[in-house]
Structure 1
Amino acid sequence: MSLPTPSVQLYTLVEEFRADPARSLDRLAAIGLQHVEAFDFVGRPAEIRAALDASGLTAPTGHAPLLSDELWTPDGSIPTPEPEAVLEAAAVVGLTTVIDPFVEPVRWSTVDGVNEIADRLNAVADLAATYGLSVGYHNHAQEFLLDIDGRSALEHVVARTDERIAIELDLFWALTGGQDVPALVQRLGSRLLAVHVKDGFVPAENPFGVDADRTVTRHLDQRRPGEGHVPLVEAMRATDAVRWAVIEYDQSPGDVFDDIAASYAFLLEKGLAA
């Protein structure tokens, strides 16, 4: 059985990375990581690539909006860059797969909305191929609220899209969405390129309803792996298709670099990554 390779989503240390990319990456390298998942790279791809090269790290995957015309931020909605701009920046940084990290809950609430997401994924995959890149999608919980012909909206999208389109399954958010996570991992099978490894205490009620407050992630009770509700070991052993085990905290419970180091140690000690 092949094991995934550890990585870390730079959103986990978003403030530290924005303030001092070089020092942040050097600290990740000192932990033992060799790869990161890029975040907020479209506006400064050359700077990020230089910092990666200097630290000896690579960013094979990265998050950027590909499926939305506007992006919600705490300061209000802003226009997203054109897909061509995202893909051009991704090529500079050295990505191989660009993953859309968030499509608003309301678009997951109807069959037409879900079909439109799938169709846009297919179209952007065609465009990405002209840049030598692949694309994928990263879930939260809203992708599991709607049932379409006996399966979740996320799995409907998987069935409706080209097999080259990857899924990055956030294990915490899949559980928050009410999923049997190991069973979901098995069903997604070869479409899984990566998983987000995070743990925490899942709210009793789904926090990502269609009309939910989009600041919910500020109030999450997330913990180090093995300290919460998420069946990480069982889920990650349910398939051998995953290429990247991406460490992430939406909210780090303590010192962010110590928490990343604890996640990295968990993956190695449990034999879940190599």
Structure 2
Amino acid sequence: MTKPLSVQLYSVRDQLAADRDNVLRRIAGIGYGAVEPFDPTADPKGFRKVADDLGLAVSSTHAYALLSQEPAEVFDAIATVGTDLVIIPGGIAHEEFTTRDGLSRTADLLNGLAEQASAYGMRIGYHNHWWEIEPRIDGRHALEALADLLAPEVFLEIDTYWAAVGGADVPALLRGLSSRILALHVKDGPVVKDEPHVAVGQGVMPVPEILAASPDTWRIVELDSCAGDIFDALAGSHTYLTQLSGS
């Protein structure tokens, strides 16, 4: 079964805080079939009911909360939200990705969380920004070196845009890490750190080549910031990606 296009809800964080149900309704109305929460502990039962009513799957969830809250409570919330893919999207000091010792500590953290997650039938993943890509360890991106230290069940969600900002050849990175990758953040823009993002297909990212390099993963649209109307950008992204896939 083809995975539906998903949206990382951080894209609409301000709108979500004002009117969650309407935001989810608008996302479903655009045609997205899934969403990726960034805080699964925020009213998980209410969220699940609205998502179910709208026919929205939960592709995965980010879970910063695992780094600061009681893990059992977070995993229980995630179970209610309805996904088994749990992603750490940062919260680890950037400096840890500049040395082998730092990578070992990071791997120990992620592997320990993965062991706890397995009791809930869940898997732990890690989501990159640029700071896991820019540093080189023995000529390889730090994220690639980290992957060698992770337990087999730990997966990666590659943010393709931040990988490009960090200097990666993104299709090559995806091919090299293919056995680890279960999800992609698909986004577009000028590939400049502090510039706003644009609808997928309207920037300089080689989106067709990126998707071809990782054909079976979740595609999750995200705009960290947007100069125009965010819902217009989400709609434009959906149109472009749907036409690209021929579906």
- The answer, yes or no, to whether TM exceeds 0.5 is yes
Task: Summarize deviations over 1:97-135 as a string: whole Å, max 9, x none.
Answer: 010111331222222111111111111111101011111
Does the CA contact (< 8 Å) of 1:3 and 1:240 recur in 2? no
SS in 1 for 2:171: helix
Residues 45 and 89 in structure 1, CA contact (< 8 A), matched pair in contact too = yes
Deviation at 1:96, TM superposition (A): 1.4
Question: Structure 1's 3 and 50: CA in aligned 2 closer, same or farther, altered over 3 A?
Answer: closer
Match of 1:159 among 148, 152, 156: 148
Alignment of 1:112-151 (within 5 A): 112-151=101-140
Assess if the C-alpha contact under 8 Å between 2:160 and 2:184 holds in 1.
Answer: yes
Distance in 2 separating the partners of 1:32 and 1:20: 19
1:27 positional shift: 0.8
The CA deviation string for residues 59-98 of structure 1, in whole angstroms up to 9 with x for no partner, is 1300112674xxxxxxxxxxx2132222111011111101
- Which residue identity lines up with residue 27 of structure 1 in the other structure? R
**Deviation per residue, 1:132-169 (Å, 9 max, x gap):** 11110110000013222332111111111122211111
- Could you say which residue in structure 1 is the equivalent of 2:183? 194
Gap runs ≥5 in structure 2: none
Q: Secondary structure at the match of 1:245?
A: strand
Q: Give the corresponding residue for 1:23.
A: 22
Residue 78 of structure 2 is matched in structure 1 by 90
Q: Secondary structure at the match of 1:178?
A: coil
**Change in CA separation of 1:23 and 1:233 when aligned onto 2, cut-off 3 Å:** same
TM-score, structure 1 normalization: 0.84
Taking a change above 3 Å as real, the CA distance of residues 67 and 141 of structure 1, as seen in their structure-2 partners, is farther
Distance 1:167 1:7 in 2: 16
AA aligned opposite 2:71: P
Does structure 1 retain, via aligned residues, the 8 Å contact 2:99–2:137? no
Tell me the equivalent position of 1:223. Answer: 198
User: Aligned pair 1:170/2:144, yes or no?
Assistant: no
Of Structure 1 and Structure 2, the greater strand share is in 1
Q: Which one scores higher on RCO, CA 8 angstroms, separation ≥ 6?
A: 1
| Residue 240 in structure 1 maps to residue 215 in structure 2 | yes
Q: How does 1:54-93 map to 2 (within 5 A)?
A: 54-65=53-64, 68=67, 80-93=68-81
